[in-house]
Structure 1
Amino acid sequence: MSEKRVFIFGAGYSGMAFARANAHGARIVGTTRSAEKFEVLRQAGIAPLRFEGTLTPEIGDALADRTHLVVSVAPEESGDPVLNAAREAIKARMPALEWIGYLSTVGVYGDHRGAWVDETTACKPVSKRSVMRVAAEEEWLRLGQEIGRPVAILRLSGIYGPGRNALVSLEDGTARRLVKPGQVFNRIHCDDIAGALWHLAAKNLGGIFNVTDDEPAPPQDVVAYAAGLMGIEPPPEIPFETAQLSPMARSFYSENKRVANKAIKAAGYGFRFPNYRSALDRMWADGNWRNGAARSPMKRS
């Protein structure tokens, strides 16, 4: 990948994991909304630029020679911020562009009452943010068709990794074992997001890919497993009906599905962490579970 020149719109937790996995010396430029994060991006191997919804001359110049574009910016009511600002630049001022990767969410499938879904399942988003994601996916795929470039849509499940996992939440006292009978979630370690991105970028593969682990599981089981690794008692179980939750957290529990990942495997990618146990085991053994982004509960990108 030494010939690749990558631009990341939205170099946050997943984008920095992608940059840290740059094993071939690709040149990476990435954006953040805050200049205060520039040094963190530099440490991850990213030349930082500020993006606040406007195509600055600096961003325009950086895009001009990029071969690969990764987008990890959430859509807004006014549309996709990157497309709103840079659609024409991508179409007219990126002659070397070979491939686009867009990070989306499995939330686009909506609620399936615990049934399995895959890339052929129709999108029936429930939340407003997922409705906007579907619209953004369609816009990126349409742009790819217009310019004749492959677009990979990576639908991510609950993101975790160093600095963002059940071990951290147990240590800082924020872990809870909420129990809603039958509720399961898929998860994805940030290293597998990075691995899938590099794999698809290397082959310039487009399409829809669920980038998610093999084992949808109840969230309380993850906390209990992490507590076992730490040698501590897990927090008590709390019935979902009586739990104090933010509207955002409660909305996640309103959707229940098991997400299959056949397409990315068929493309040749092998998961480093196929389930939460293998990932927690590795982070605990390596002692790097505290490192990474600011501590926060698992959330979707």
Structure 2
Amino acid sequence: MTDQNLFIFGMGFSGLATARLVRDDYATIGATVRTAEKAERLSAEGIDAHVFDGETVSDELVAAVKRATHVVQSIPPGSTGDPVLALLRDALVGAENLEWIGYLSTVGVYGDHGGGWVDEATEPKPLSGRSVERVRAEADWRLLGEELGVPVALLRLSGIYGPGRNALAQIADGTARRLVKPGQIFNRIHVADIATAVAAAAERKASGVFNVTDDEPAPPQDVVTYAAELAGYPLPPEIDFATADLPPMVRSFYGENKRVGNKRLAADLGVTLAFPTYREGIAALWNDGSWRG
């Protein structure tokens, strides 16, 4: 039995996929969740789950963090900084066997490049407040790694999809829209490929920046069109972005336009994406019925 212990801050969509993928690679897997109900559900899967509200910590949570050899942080920062570093930094410093830290960030840190390519060497130029907060949190985690002599991997994720969170599900429930903004491009990533990338980075104790994203940036309306045609649904009507009534967050999201390269996934982590484009990902979700979640 391995003597390695994984702790995941923020056991959400990506964290749970990662935990299920690597469950046999670690003696224990711990995590934070928001509710006692979710903690109970995860306990049934053998995950040592602790409720963490971002304001207080329990002695049991501190003890679990101190046992960790590998840490994944997926809780987003706020205006006051990273909640884990604010409340559990001492526990991380006290984790005597800590070997690796993975921080799940976002490709939003690159800002807008007018549809041009960016890669891991591109300097962040965040536009939105949430991306500015991400850049600060990335820097803070890097500093902690330097202080502890522990490698820190910054895993920058693009738009996440997978079981229950995909264009097929949106079409079925009537929420899908073909919002058209000429020249707009987005990358995306299947949650299973995120888990593979995190597992590889942890195993190799990788450090530095990795763009965890697919191989083919594409206009968002193309994804909805593909999903509708695959499932035999009528195409949702096209909506002109310029005149659409959109929430401020959605409109700001479309204010960033770039193609994101992912060469370090294969070159440095040895990762081959199971779903290199949205077509493979959506087709797999449709064929096995997991699109419903």
Matches within 5 A, 1:207-286: 207-267=208-268, 268-286=270-288
* Structure 2 residue corresponding to 1:88, chosen from 87, 90, 108: 90
Runs of 5+ unmatched residues, structure 1: 292-301
Deviation digits for residues 124-181 of structure 1 (CA, Å, limit 9, x no counterpart): 0000000000000000011100000000000000000000000000000000000000
Q: Which is further off, 68-77 or 45-54? A: 45-54
TM-score, with structure 2 as normaliser: 0.96
Task: Measure, in 2, the Cα distance between the counterparts of 1:4 and 1:171.
Answer: 42
Task: Measure, in 2, the Cα distance between the counterparts of 1:243 and 1:49.
Answer: 42
1:24 aligned partner, one-letter code: D
2:15 aligned partner, one-letter code: G
1:78 aligned partner, one-letter code: T
Residue of structure 2 equivalent to 1:174: 175
Instruction: Judge conservation of contact 2:171–2:233 (CA < 8 Å) in 1.
Output: no
Deviation digits for residues 71-93 of structure 1 (CA, Å, limit 9, x no counterpart): 001111111100001112211x2
Shift in alpha-carbon separation, 1:176–1:151, aligned structure 2, 3 A: same
Identity of matched residues, %: 58
2:76 aligned partner, one-letter code: A
Instruction: Judge conservation of contact 2:36–2:51 (CA < 8 Å) in 1.
Output: yes
Kindly indicate whether residue 106 of structure 2 is the aligned counterpart of residue 105 of structure 1. yes
Shift in alpha-carbon separation, 1:216–1:240, aligned structure 2, 3 A: same
Runs of 5+ unmatched residues, structure 2: none
Residue of structure 2 equivalent to 1:33: 34
SS at match of 1:183: coil
Task: Measure, in 1, the Cα distance between the counterparts of 2:49 and 2:150.
Answer: 25
Q: Paired residues, what number? A: 290
Deviation at 1:39, TM superposition (A): 3.4
> Which 4+ residue blocks in structure 1 deviate beyond 4 angstroms?
none
Q: Which is further off, 67-76 or 51-60? A: 51-60
2:207 aligned partner, one-letter code: G
Instruction: Judge conservation of contact 1:11–1:41 (CA < 8 Å) in 2.
Output: no
SS at match of 2:239: strand
Residue of structure 1 equivalent to 2:76: 74
Residue of structure 2 equivalent to 1:152: 153
1:66 aligned partner, one-letter code: A
Q: Report the aligned-residue RMSD.
A: 1.3
Matches within 5 A, 1:181-200: 181-200=182-201
Kindly indicate whether residue 7 of structure 2 is the aligned counterpart of residue 12 of structure 1. no
Deviation digits for residues 231-269 of structure 1 (CA, Å, limit 9, x no counterpart): 122101111012121111111100000000011211111
